Amino acid sequence: MLPCLHAFIKAEWPKTMTGLPSTSGTTASVVIIRGSKMFVAHVGDSGVVLGVQDDPKDDFVRAVEVTQDHKPELPKERERIEGLGGSVINKSGVNRVVWKRPRLTHNGPVRRSTVIDQIPFLAVARALGDLWSYDFYSGEFVVSPEPDTSVHTIDPQKHKYIILGSDGLWNMIPPQDAISMCQDHEEKKYFMGEHRQSCAKMLVNRALGRWRQRMLRADNTSAIVICISPLQDSKNNLENEEELYLNLAESPCYSSPDTNVMTPSRCCTPPVKVTFFRVFKCSTCQSGTQ
């Protein structure tokens, strides 16, 4: 089956700018809020950060990283990759999963004598849709699509922000800086009455600015910001197309896990404001999947 897959990829699959088959997938961070519960699923090097205010008398909101990047050098990831016959190589200071493929000039079936190139490829150990890493002999993906999952209880008295961002954001803006930027941005808009851009767009623009300052091509940069706070007349105060208000207290929920009857939910989570913005400034695999 391996030769057939290789022949299909060579003949049919779209090519990258360098002429290689474009078979890499994507990272993903997903948050589902149901009442006071936040369900998180995550693969790759996008990430979710929670802003927590420990003391209501103190304005400081600290950043808590909900997810951990699936880097190839992590002991459990390296052990899994090597256990499947794969390997990790450091190239230019970045650890990458090795792509083992027949040389591009090769034609016909793959034999023991076929020259196999070993290319340091992805800088992540898990992703969705990386077909190149599938091993037909083990039936496993060297770059795993299996997500890490977790469940968290949201307390609106202490949890103030949830930020979902791609690696293009987090490579330039540390989690604590991102939370502080959102807090400062919202305070200026509230107290000074300024008509300002959304938190998500603000974060993306600042990240892109830092990419430019370092004279680097920006990686994919996307952000979603969820502000957890009471909002008065939120439906009538939409300031731009990047903002969306959700009243989670009015969302339907199942009355029990064993029934499909829908009943109104009066949960303790207040209305939240969701802002979202993304820019695809695509570099050719600076930090892994695209």
pLDDT at 258: 41
- 191 vs 7, residue with greater confidence: 191
Residue 130 pLDDT > 90, yes or no?
no
Among 3-17, 114-128, 136-150, 180-194, name the one with the lowest average pLDDT.
3-17
Write the DSSP assignment of 108-140 as a string of letters.
Answer: S---TTS-EEEEEEES-SB-B--GGGEETTTTE
The more confident residue out of 272 and 157 is: 157
pLDDT tens column, 61-103: 999 999 999 999 999 999 999 998 889 999 989 999 988 777 7
Q: How many helices (H) and strands (E) does the chain have?
A: 5, 16
Least confident of 45-54, 82-91, 112-121, 257-266: 257-266
pLDDT at 243: 62
Higher pLDDT, 228 or 108: 228
What distances in angstroms separate CA 239 from CA 198, 253, 283, one per listed residue?
8, 29, 32
Residue 261 has pLDDT above 50, yes or no: no
pTM confidence score = 0.76
What 3-state DSSP class applies to 283?
A: coil
What does the alpha-carbon distance between residue 30 and residue 47 come to, in Å, rounded to a whole number? 9
As a whole number, the mean pLDDT across the chain is 77
Residue 140 banded pLDDT, cuts 50, 70, 90: confident
- How would residue 205 be classed by pLDDT, with cut points 50, 70 and 90? very high
Residue 41: name the closest of 50, 32, 30, 33 by CA: 30
Q: What is the pLDDT of residue 263?
A: 41
End-to-end Cα spacing for the chain? 27
| Mean pLDDT, residues 19-40 taken together | 83
Other Cβ atoms closer than 10 A to 273:
21
> Closest by alpha carbon to 27, among 138, 140, 147?
147
